[in-house]
Amino acid sequence: MKRLILLALFISVFSFGQNDSIKVDVSKISKKDYKGIKKTYDKFDNVTVFSLSMAGTSHHFLPEIKVVDSVMSFRIIAKSNSYNWIFYDKITLSINGNKFDFNIPITNEVINGSSTVSESTVLLADEYLLKALRQIKSKNDEVFIRFYGKRNSTERVINYEKNGIIKMLALYDRLKG
């Protein structure tokens, strides 16, 4: 029963987490518009996903654009890898000293084979998150993510992730038109 309640909460958060639906036509962009970004299409579900290559597992803050039946969403996958559970329910993003707080209603916890644990969540981009992300202008910006829960963990957002966010925001703007 507890899992059913959590599933219902999960679905409601992701169904109603965005401000407005943004209709896009993915066929109108060329490969040069998403150079360096991986495009995946699921014909069965009519879903197109633009993401960064997941080389390695040390990434903590990855952007993704998902287009389902021509409706676009910009998402951030926030992930903590550790030897101890954090059970986080809040994330603070620090960009050049400016802090942005996000309450997290649900996380996905996994025990990795290497005796580490991973906790992840998806942040759907609203105006607040987009405003925060647009402050990242280059790989030289200082960007940290802090996970708050039973324990705290602070991770540096690496250059790969910062460059990816910049590229994905440009693609998001291009898709919006």
- Per-residue pLDDT reduced to its tens digit, 11-38: 434 443 444 578 888 888 888 888 888 9
Task: Render pLDDT for 117-133 as a digit per residue (tens, 0 to 9).
Answer: 888 888 998 999 999 99
How many domains does the structure of the chain reveal? 1
- For the chain, give the percent of residues with pLDDT over 70: 85
Looking at residue 58, its amino acid is S
Task: Render pLDDT for 86-110 as a digit per residue (tens, 0 to 9).
Answer: 888 999 999 999 999 999 877 778 7
Cβ-count burial of 20 within 10 angstroms (0-12 exposed, 13-18 middle, 19+ buried)? exposed
Question: What span, in angstroms and rounded, lies between the C-alpha atoms of 69 and 86?
Answer: 36
Q: What is the reported pLDDT for 148?
A: 93
Question: What span, in angstroms and rounded, lies between the C-alpha atoms of 123 and 75?
Answer: 6
Question: What span, in angstroms and rounded, lies between the C-alpha atoms of 13 and 165?
Answer: 23
Q: Mean pLDDT, the chain, as a whole number?
A: 83
Q: What is the reported pLDDT for 58?
A: 61
Q: What is the reported pLDDT for 17?
A: 43
What CATH number should be reported for the domain holding residue 147? 2.60.40
- Assess contact for 78 and 123: CB atoms under 8 A: yes
pTM of the model: 0.81
pLDDT at 51 over 60: yes
Question: What span, in angstroms and rounded, lies between the C-alpha atoms of 24 and 121?
Answer: 25
Q: Which domain holds residue 72?
A: 2-176
Residue whose C-alpha is closest to residue 73's, from 60, 81, 84, 64: 64
